[in-house]
Amino acid sequence: MKISQHDTSLNMKSNRYMPASVMACALVLAISLTPQLSFAQSNYGQAKANQPMPTVSLPLVIGWYKGQEVLYIQSEVSDLGVAVDQGVTYVPRLANVIPANGAPSGLDDIYVISNFKQGNIIPSAPSPTGPANTDTDYTPLWQVSVVTWVSSSVAPHLLRSEEEVFAARDQGLVTIDKKNIVVNCPVIYTPTGGLLPNAELHHIPGPKSPFQK
């Protein structure tokens, strides 16, 4: 859930921790999105149709899904402190989508490790990314669950899937504290589902990165 604030250089960097015990760490990449020609023409006129179309570069977050690194964007959050810390839009109404009494909702969980430096963990992702997605369990709206290592007998280590989080909890190694915080974090890349159509990745971390083309 970590992204840098005002990242105009688009260089890869480490991020600051989140406030109020909602903490994570991730590398930041950049993604450029190019709108379709019809959008550009309708907003900028036929006279500018032959000029380069507008693009935007956004910071990305590296997380974990089923043992693989994935990329997502964080744009809004229901908690003011997190919004200020992350430089994203504060949307208190997002908290209204949290269901009462376990009722069905459009939410899923995102697991944020509070006392170990690693990327956040999500339990669903588009398959594939884009209009052909067939995974009806996927949603970009995540309710934050803070995972804390509590056992002194086992050193904290990387958790790469929801299954690993639950296994650590069942062994008494971690606790899971679900918060009334909702974030909007669309997944734009998974190794199996590919990259969002019309998107380009920049500032790849290294030659052995799974995001290397």
pLDDT confidence of residue 131: 96
State how far the Cα of 187 lies from the Cα of 66, in Å rounded to an integer.
Answer: 14
Residue 91: half-sphere exposure toward Cβ, Cα within 13 Å: 15
Helices (H) and strands (E) in the chain, counts: 3, 12
Would you kindly state where each structural domain of the chain is located, as residue ranges? 30-202
Q: What pLDDT, in 10s, does the model give residues 184-211?
A: 999 999 999 999 998 888 876 654 444 4
pTM: 0.77
pLDDT confidence of residue 12: 25
**Mean pLDDT across the stretch 51-62?**
84
Q: What pLDDT, in 10s, does the model give residues 132-175?
A: 999 999 999 999 999 999 978 889 999 999 999 999 999 999 99
pLDDT confidence of residue 174: 97
State how far the Cα of 69 lies from the Cα of 205, in Å rounded to an integer.
Answer: 12
pLDDT confidence of residue 191: 93
pLDDT confidence of residue 16: 32
Query: Is residue 195 within 8 Å of residue 201, measured between CB atoms?
Result: yes
Which stretches within 30-107 are classed as H helix?
Answer: 37-44, 80-86
Q: Residue 25 pLDDT > 70, yes or no?
A: no
Of the pLDDT bands very low, low, confident and very high (cuts 50, 70, 90), residue 32 is: confident
State how far the Cα of 78 lies from the Cα of 114, in Å rounded to an integer.
Answer: 19
Q: Residue 55 pLDDT > 80, yes or no?
A: yes
Structure tokens of 20? 């109020």
Share of the chain above pLDDT 90, in %: 59
**Mean pLDDT across the stretch 67-71?**
96
Q: What pLDDT, in 10s, does the model give residues 89-121?
A: 999 999 999 988 767 788 999 999 999 999 999
